A = this chain, B = another copy of it.
C-alpha cells in the first residue's frame, strides 16, 4: 500500500499515591535521545501485538506490576511530526492507576526507575519528549475519573478503610474533604465498596471497617470537586 509508515509506541502514565503525594512512575533513559533524562515508561509496539497488549507488556517489563492489580485505560495519542528527533513516532499513551507498590525493578533499556511526585515532574523541565504534556493529561484524566467513577479505590490496597480512600481523594484533588460526609457518600453508593466484615485499628482510634473495591463502573450521582 502506498502510504507513509511510522513507528508506533505506547507510553504509560502510571500513577500511585504514596508519601502524601500523587506520584508517577518515571524511568531514567539509558539511550539517546534524551539519554539521562527522565521519561515515562514505554516502548515500541511489536508486529502482531495489540496496543493494549503492548501497554500491558511494557507495564510488566518495566515495573513488574502484575496486570490484575491495576486499572489501565487508553489516555490519548500523540503524533506531532517533531515529537521525537530521530524519526516520526506516534505514541499511544495509557493511564494506569496502581496502589502503593515497592519501587519497581529497572527494565532492559531503563537504567533506573522510580516514583516521583507529579508536582515536581510538571514544575521541572526534566521529562523527555512531550512526556510532560502526556503526564499532565494523565493527571487531569485521573482527577476527573475520581469524580465520575469509583476508581479512587484503584489507588488503595486490596483491603482498605474509608479514611484511606478519602486520603486518596484529598491528595489527588489537593482538597480537604469532610470525613463524615465522605463516609456517608461512599458507603451509601451502591456497589462502590464491598464490606469484608473485618476491621482494623491501623489508623488509630475506633476500629474502621475494611472494604474491597465494589463492582460499580460509574458513580451516580458523581462526587464533585468544588461546589462552584
Question: Could you mark each residue 140-184 of chain A with 1 if its beta carbon is under 8 Å from any beta carbon of chain B, else 0?
Answer: 000000000000000000000000000000000000000000000
A77 CA / B228 CA spacing, docked (Å): 34
Question: Could you mark each residue 1-22 of chain A with 1 if its beta carbon is under 8 Å from any beta carbon of chain B, else 0?
Answer: 1011111110000000000000
Q: Please determine whether B46 and A8 come into contact, CB atoms closer than 8 angstroms.
A: no
Number of copies: 2
A109 CA / B79 CA spacing, docked (Å): 24
The residue on B at minimum CB distance from A220 is B228
In the complex, which residues of chain B have a beta carbon less than 8 angstroms from the beta carbon of A220?
224, 228
Q: Which of B3, B8, B78, B87 contacts A79 (CB 8 A)?
A: B8
Q: Please determine whether B7 and A7 come into contact, CB atoms closer than 8 angstroms.
A: no
A45 CA / B5 CA spacing, docked (Å): 9
CB distance from A173 to the nearest CB of B (A): 15
Question: Could you mark each residue 89-119 of chain A with 1 if its beta carbon is under 8 Å from any beta carbon of chain B, else 0?
Answer: 0101000000000000000000000000000
Query: Which A residues form the contact surface with B (CB < 8 A)?
Result: 1, 3-9, 44-51, 74, 76-81, 86-88, 90, 92, 220-222, 224, 228
10 further A-B pairs in the complex, CB-CB below 8 A; given A6-B8, A8-B8: A1-B86, A4-B7, A4-B46, A5-B6, A6-B45, A45-B79, A50-B81, A51-B78, A51-B80, A220-B224
